[in-house]
Amino acid sequence: MTVDFYGQCKTALSGVLTTNLTAYLTETWQITDNEFDLHRGANHFILFRPGAIPAPADSEQDGEVLEMHWQVIVNVFVRFQEKSLQWSQFEAFRGAVWHVLANPRNTITLNNNIWRVLSVTSGEEASYWRFLNTPADSQPNFMTQPLTTTVKQRVVF
């Protein structure tokens, strides 16, 4: 039987974000891995992408247990509405996402041996993003920034 350990981590992150960000995320499709969900009309989204697979040096193995440090890219999206409000709206949502993920009191599920979020970082600046690249649609639709989230999971073989 093949187990999707990354998928287990993504599901755990989705759960903790859904539970703690109800002021921003009112629909289940606002936390997704399908960028076309951004067309559905909400103003705030989380878009998951797989990060790096942990290298052996980043993990520890003890017999039949392997401690993995999975990277899940949590892309924060805020719909671009008014230029005068864009940064404050984006910073508020990004800050709320960071607080949920980095706060040790917001523990992610211990199901599937997922222990906790180890770190939340970003090596990239926030940027503007749009779906189409035509002159008629040259204005940005969203502001976005990827947050690299490292999740600790103990895998039992």
pLDDT in tens, 139-149: 668 899 999 99
Domains defined along the chain, listed by start: 5-156 (3.30.2000)
pLDDT in tens, 9-63: 999 999 999 999 999 999 999 999 998 898 888 999 999 999 988 765 455 666 6
What is the reported pTM?
A: 0.86
pLDDT in tens, 82-117: 777 889 999 999 999 999 999 887 767 656 688 788
Nearest 5°: the CA angle 9, 15, 21 is 130
Distance CA 127, CA 46 (A): 15
pLDDT at residue 16, as a whole number: 92
pLDDT at residue 106, as a whole number: 72
CB 97 within 8 A of CB 148: no
For the residues 63-69, what does the mean pLDDT come to? Answer: 79
List, in sequence order, every residue forming a beta bridge with 77; answer none if it has no partner.
45, 144
Distance CA 111, CA 108 (A): 9
Distance CA 52, CA 150 (A): 10
Residue 40: both structure tokens together: 């559905």
What is the number of helices (H) and of strands (E) in the chain? 2, 7
pLDDT band at 80; cut points 50, 70, 90: confident
